């Protein structure tokens, strides 16, 4: 059985940033309640947020389809999606264009 920690321990992953902290939290709990465990609630990296905010982290860009479908269904607006990679020990964050 794969634990959540192992599933999310990658050098490359994606984060969906929301317009409000509450939207991220509410959508995460909706996904969790439905048994969809491909996502993790995280603090939005400082480089992307000026205040206290949360994002949803996922490993495969294909999983964005599930996230976006549920976000639209429950009216939780996703502002942007970023790819985060650790290269030579440094975190690099780049916006993924064309999927929203």
Question: What is the domain-level CATH number for residue 87?
Answer: 3.30.70.120
Residue 69 counted as domain residue? yes
Q: Are 69 and 52 in contact (CB under 8 A)?
A: no
Residue 19 counted as domain residue? yes
Q: Are 92 and 84 in contact (CB under 8 A)?
A: yes
- The yes-or-no verdict on residue 9 having pLDDT over 80 is no
Residue 53 counted as domain residue? yes
Residue 71 counted as domain residue? yes
* Domain that includes residue 46, residue range: 4-95
Residue 100 counted as domain residue? no
Across the chain, mean pLDDT equals: 89
What pTM value is reported for the model? 0.86
User: What is the model's pLDDT at position 8?
Assistant: 54
Confidence of residue 2 (pLDDT cuts 50, 70, 90): very low
Residue 8 counted as domain residue? yes
Domain count, the chain: 1
Helix (H) or strand (E) holding 22: helix 21-33
């Amino acid at each position: 059985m794969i634990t959540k920690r192992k599933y999310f321990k990658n050098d490359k992953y994606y984060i969906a940033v929301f317009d409000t902290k509450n939207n991220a939290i509410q959508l995460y709990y909706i996904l969790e309640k439905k048994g969809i465990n491909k996502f993790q609630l995280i603090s939005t990296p400082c480089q992307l947020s000026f205040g206290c905010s949360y994002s949803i982290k996922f490993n495969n860009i294909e999983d964005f389809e599930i996230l976006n479908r549920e976000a639209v269904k429950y009216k939780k607006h996703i502002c942007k999606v970023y790819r985060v990679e650790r290269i030579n020990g440094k975190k690099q964050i780049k916006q993924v264009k064309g999927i929203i």
